[in-house]
């Protein structure tokens, strides 16, 4: 199994680029239209400097009359104005289209990443702190958004401008242009060195951000424990260390870029000095290349040389940001390339109905190789039956439930759902017939109504109230001023354990599953809610097939079958009375709990 907690590999820039380009395909028409506008905008931007040079030549040409000079100046001014206006219009539309393209692409990547995480196995999800997953879906995709909407566009624009400027320089004076090109090898070598160190540093920065997000998410969730044990100082120290490490990564990034940009600027100054010296000599000597080299064109050439180095400087800046985007892309692709441990077969079956019949046949399972949690487990659950699983912690009770919903796959043996091997069934179609009630009930921020319906607008308030009445929740909700509109704080912190469990019961009943599974759902309830929940359980046993994992044996006395597990094996089976008669493990568990409850009553 692949773990994506940290980098498991380094993806080459070329591979990242190819994958990022594939997301442009759905937007290719608008993208190419934007590129055409970009090229047009670049051409319009190159015209004014050339026109300024021609204007200077016209003014200084003594062979022209005043009227001829004014006429040329008017023509050049109109050309200057039109090129400026057309540049602005083209720039506006190509930026607008690129922003739209970029946002559509990021939406696609973010949805793809979120959907992929949803399909990973619980073992894979549990390996990664929630904060890191949030970083992948939000922070890293936001960085990619900057690339598509800004970095990539500016990079392409500057490359076009660079090529266009180089072309005009060759036309004006190819000798000076060749001198200018002598500086390019130094620029290229500097860029290669810069790329190597900046990419490595950006990885450190992205990992640092991810680690801090994960640390914050975990410690803010456990803030009550931290405060209870006076661990604030230690937590602050740890956070300071992680923040200092991230700060050092950022400073290293600034240092690397701080060397590269001044180097390019220094080369531009040296280039301008050379151009002015040799260009002045050509003007004095009336040199002719493809066109006569005049004082006005020397000014244009000087302007273009200054502009020639500006895109290189901007490309350096964009390249700096591009490395950041590639580092984020590497993180995102690392998640997307993580294959789910549980995958449906290509020809998997979609269930249209589920009678609730389940059979375990010689099932073996382990989380760690050769450390078997279930050993040759076999049992059958018929339609509308209730089966209870009891036994010490670690005996395999909850594992059986996880295998039924295909959170994991069996290593040996078979599980049959209505006579069909579970591995041949599409997971989503299987789970829509199963309702799960866990020990640790998770409630979302929202109203009671929304938590019962799971934000499904197709579930009417009448149906929600009906489900709540069935499980006994309505008597509690009626005591709230807001009724079903009462707001639930994060994780349901404003509700008791019993109230949260009843909301979970109502949620399950509302979706009318063919199979209901309770995993220690009654272990943490308060005494006031226990009676309501007990009656609720008895009613729920009559509406569908049910599997109950419980330590409180009082909640399972009415079960049709009770399986007693120990060390991954079923050691006893039967109903409540049958198991008491044989005076085995179940009898001992029941006697211990009965004596304890009797003592508490006294």
pLDDT tens-digit map of 349-363:
888 888 888 999 999
147 has a pLDDT exceeding 70: yes
The rounded distance, in Å, linking the Cα atoms of 351 and 425 is: 7
523 has a pLDDT exceeding 80: no
pLDDT computed for residue 595 by the predictor: 63
DSSP 486: P
Lowest mean pLDDT among 89-103, 107-121, 186-200, 415-429: 186-200
586 has a pLDDT exceeding 90: no
pLDDT band at 178 (very low <50, low <70, confident <90, very high): confident
pLDDT band at 7 (very low <50, low <70, confident <90, very high): very low
437 has a pLDDT exceeding 50: yes
pLDDT band at 599 (very low <50, low <70, confident <90, very high): low
* β-pair partners for 417: 358, 420
Lowest mean pLDDT among 331-340, 502-511, 526-535, 541-550: 526-535
pLDDT computed for residue 255 by the predictor: 80
pLDDT computed for residue 267 by the predictor: 75
Enclosing H/E stretch for 546:
strand 545-549
Lowest mean pLDDT among 59-68, 95-104, 164-173: 59-68
The rounded distance, in Å, linking the Cα atoms of 279 and 298 is: 6
Q: What is the SS3 string spanning 276-297? A: HHHHHHHHHCCCECCCECCHHH
85 has a pLDDT exceeding 90: yes
pLDDT band at 368 (very low <50, low <70, confident <90, very high): confident
4 has a pLDDT exceeding 60: no
Name, in order, each residue with C-beta under 8 angstroms of 570's C-beta and a sequence gap of 6 or more.
377, 378, 379, 563, 564
**Closest among 201, 203, 210, 198 to 242, alpha carbons compared:** 210
pLDDT tens-digit map of 63-75:
777 888 788 888 8
pLDDT computed for residue 530 by the predictor: 64
For residues 514-532, give the mean pLDDT: 70
Mean pLDDT of the chain: 80
C-alpha of 195 from chain center:
26
Cα torsion 224, 226, 230, 233: sign = negative
Helix segments in 478-563, DSSP class H: 497-510, 527-540
DSSP 440: S
CA 360-366-368 angle, to 5 degrees, is: 170
pLDDT band at 526 (very low <50, low <70, confident <90, very high): low
Integer CA distances (angstroms), 321 to 159, 253, 318, 331, in order: 16, 11, 5, 16
Walk me through the domains of the chain, giving residue ranges and CATH numbers.
13-336 (1.20.1560.10), 358-601 (3.40.50.300)
6 has a pLDDT exceeding 50: no
pLDDT band at 195 (very low <50, low <70, confident <90, very high): low
Counting Cα atoms < 13 Å in the Cβ hemisphere of 508 gives 28
Using N-to-C axis directions, what is the helix angle for 232-284 and 184-221, rounded to 10°? 160
* β-pair partners for 328: none
443 has a pLDDT exceeding 90: no
pLDDT band at 8 (very low <50, low <70, confident <90, very high): very low
Query: 33-69 burial by CB neighbour count: b if 16+ within 10 A, else e?
Result: ebbebbbbbbbbbbbbbbbbbbbbbbeeeeeeeeeeb
pLDDT band at 1 (very low <50, low <70, confident <90, very high): very low
pLDDT computed for residue 363 by the predictor: 92
90 has a pLDDT exceeding 80: yes
- Tally of CB atoms within 10 A around 145: 21
pLDDT computed for residue 229 by the predictor: 66
343: helix, coil or strand? Answer: coil
pLDDT tens-digit map of 417-432:
988 999 998 888 888 8
597 has a pLDDT exceeding 60: no
Instruction: Considering only the C-alpha atoms of the chain, give the largest distance between any 2 of them, rounded to a whole number of Å.
Output: 125
Q: Which of 134-138, 156-160, 482-486 has maximum average pLDDT?
A: 482-486
**Closest among 42, 59, 57 to 299, alpha carbons compared:** 57
372: helix, coil or strand? Answer: strand
For residues 469-476, give the mean pLDDT: 84
**Closest among 320, 319, 326, 332 to 13, alpha carbons compared:** 326
pLDDT computed for residue 360 by the predictor: 93
pLDDT band at 414 (very low <50, low <70, confident <90, very high): very high
pLDDT tens-digit map of 225-262:
776 667 778 788 888 888 888 888 888 877 877 777 77
Determine contact, residues 247/255, Cβ cutoff 8 Å. Answer: no
Burial category of 329 from C-beta neighbours within 10 Å (exposed 0-12, middle 13-18, buried 19 and up): buried
**Closest among 562, 552, 498, 508 to 530, alpha carbons compared:** 498
Name, in order, each residue with C-beta under 8 angstroms of 369's C-beta and a sequence gap of 6 or more.
none
Strands 386-390 and 545-549, by their bridges, are parallel
The rounded distance, in Å, linking the Cα atoms of 491 and 480 is: 19
Determine contact, residues 535/376, Cβ cutoff 8 Å. Answer: no
């Amino acid at each position: 199994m692949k773990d994506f907690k940290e980098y498991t590999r380094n993806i080459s820039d070329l591979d990242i680029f190819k994958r990022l380009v594939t997301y442009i395909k759905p937007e290719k028409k608008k993208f190419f239209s934007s590129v055409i506008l970009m090229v047009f905008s670049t051409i319009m931007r190159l015209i004014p400097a050339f026109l300024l040079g021609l204007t200077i030549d016209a003014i200084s040409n003594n062979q022209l009359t005043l009227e001829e000079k004014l006429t040329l100046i008017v023509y050049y001014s109109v050309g200057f104005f039109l090129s400026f206006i057309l540049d602005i219009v083209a720039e506006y539309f190509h930026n607008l289209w690129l922003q739209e393209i970029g946002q559509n692409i990021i939406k696609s990547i973010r949805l793809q990443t979120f959907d992929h995480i949803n399909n990973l196995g619980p073992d894979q999800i549990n390996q990664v702190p929630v904060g890191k997953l949030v970083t992948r879906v939000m922070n890293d995709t936001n960085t990619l958004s900057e690339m598509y909407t800004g970095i990539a566009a500016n990079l392409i624009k500057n490359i076009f401008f660079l090529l266009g400027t180089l072309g005009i320089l060759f036309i004006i004076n190819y000798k000076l242009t060749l001198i200018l090109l002598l500086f390019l090898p130094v620029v290229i070598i500097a860029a290669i060195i810069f790329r190597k160190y900046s990419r490595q540093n950006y990885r450190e920065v992205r990992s640092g951000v991810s680690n801090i997000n994960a640390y914050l998410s975990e410690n803010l969730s456990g803030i009550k424990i931290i405060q209870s044990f006076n661990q604030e100082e230690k937590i602050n120290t740890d956070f300071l260390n992680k923040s200092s490490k991230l700060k050092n990564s950022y400073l290293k990034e600034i240092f690397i870029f701080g060397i590269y940009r001044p180097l390019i600027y220094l080369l531009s100054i040296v280039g301008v000095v050379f151009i002015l010296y040799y260009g002045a000599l050509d003007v004095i000597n009336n040199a002719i290349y493809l066109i006569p080299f005049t004082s006005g064109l020397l000014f244009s050439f000087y302007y273009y040389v200054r502009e020639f180095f500006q895109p290189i400087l901007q490309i350096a800046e964009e390249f700096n940001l591009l490395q950041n985007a590639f580092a984020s892309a590497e993180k995102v692709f690392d998640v997307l390339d993580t294959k789910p441990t549980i995958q449906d077969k290509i020809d998997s079956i979609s269930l249209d109905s589920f009678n609730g019949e389940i059979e375990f046949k010689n099932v073996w399972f382990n989380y760690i190789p050769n450390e078997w949690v279930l050993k040759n487990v076999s049992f059958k659950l018929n339609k509308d039956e209730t089966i209870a699983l009891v036994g010490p912690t670690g005996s395999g009770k909850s594992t059986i439930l996880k295998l039924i919903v295909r959170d994991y796959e069996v290593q040996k043996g078979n599980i049959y759902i209505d006579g069909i091997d579970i591995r041949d069934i599409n997971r989503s179609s299987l789970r829509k017939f199963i309702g799960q009630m866990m020990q640790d009930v998770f409630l979302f921020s929202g109203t009671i109504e929304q938590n019962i319906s799971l934000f499904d607008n197709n579930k009417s308030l009448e149906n929600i109230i009906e489900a709540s009445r069935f499980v006994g929740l309505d008597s509690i909700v009626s005591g709230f001023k807001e009724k079903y509109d009462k707001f639930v704080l994060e994780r349901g912190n404003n509700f008791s354990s019993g109230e949260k469990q009843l909301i979970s019961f109502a949620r399950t009943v509302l979706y009318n599953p063919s199979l209901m599974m309770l995993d220690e759902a009654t272990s943490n309830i308060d005494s006031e809610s226990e009676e309501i929940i007990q009656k609720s359980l008895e009613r729920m046993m009559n509406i569908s097939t049910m599997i109950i994992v419980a330590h409180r044996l009082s909640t399972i006395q009415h079960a049709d079958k009770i399986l007693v597990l120990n060390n991954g094996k079923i050691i006893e089976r039967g109903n409540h009375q049958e198991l008491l008669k044989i005076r085995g493990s179940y009898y001992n568990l029941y006697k211990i709990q009965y004596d304890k409850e009797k003592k508490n009553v006294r």
